[in-house]
Amino acid sequence: MAESKAAWDQVGQEFRALGRKVKQHYEEQSRPEGSEASLRGSLVDQEGREATTAPPPEGPSADRRKVDDALQKLTESLDQAFSALGEAVRDPQVGEQTKKAASSLSDALNATFAEASERFRKK
């Protein structure tokens, strides 16, 4: 059991390292020029200025506008995330880390199945 535990600890380390590399690409990805809001969700009007007036009157069109704005922000965030992921995939260091993580996962599975097989043989 100690061998599989160590192997799974290694899997965790390798995938954390891979996650850090992907996160680095995400953080380096710049926001598109002229976007209406940052990922933090600041309230910005159509011209890009901070909104200082009262919200528009409530009603079906106001609700629809809120939904459309939320969907636009979601689309922009997903676009940024997938762009960063695309950049990360093309990075040779990320490719190497991905291979290490996959190899450690394979080693952990092999160790786990070997220990389970050994237990069944002893019974």
pLDDT of 12 > 80? The answer is: yes
Per-domain boundaries in the chain: 1-20+61-123
Q: Determine the pLDDT at residue 40.
A: 44
Residues whose CB falls within 8 Å of the CB of residue 62, separated by 6 or more in sequence, listed in order: 55, 56
CB atoms within 10 A of CB 122: 6
- Tokens 């200025």 belong to 49
User: What does residue 30 show for φ and ψ, rounded to 5 degrees?
Assistant: -85, 150
13-57 pLDDT, tens digit per residue, is 999 999 999 988 888 885 554 444 444 444 444 445 444 455 555
More confident residue, 122 or 112: 112
pLDDT score, position 94: 92
How far apart are alpha carbons 74 and 113 in whole angstroms? 42
Total-model pTM: 0.58
pLDDT in tens, 50-109: 444 555 555 678 888 999 999 999 999 888 888 888 888 899 999 999 999 999 999 999
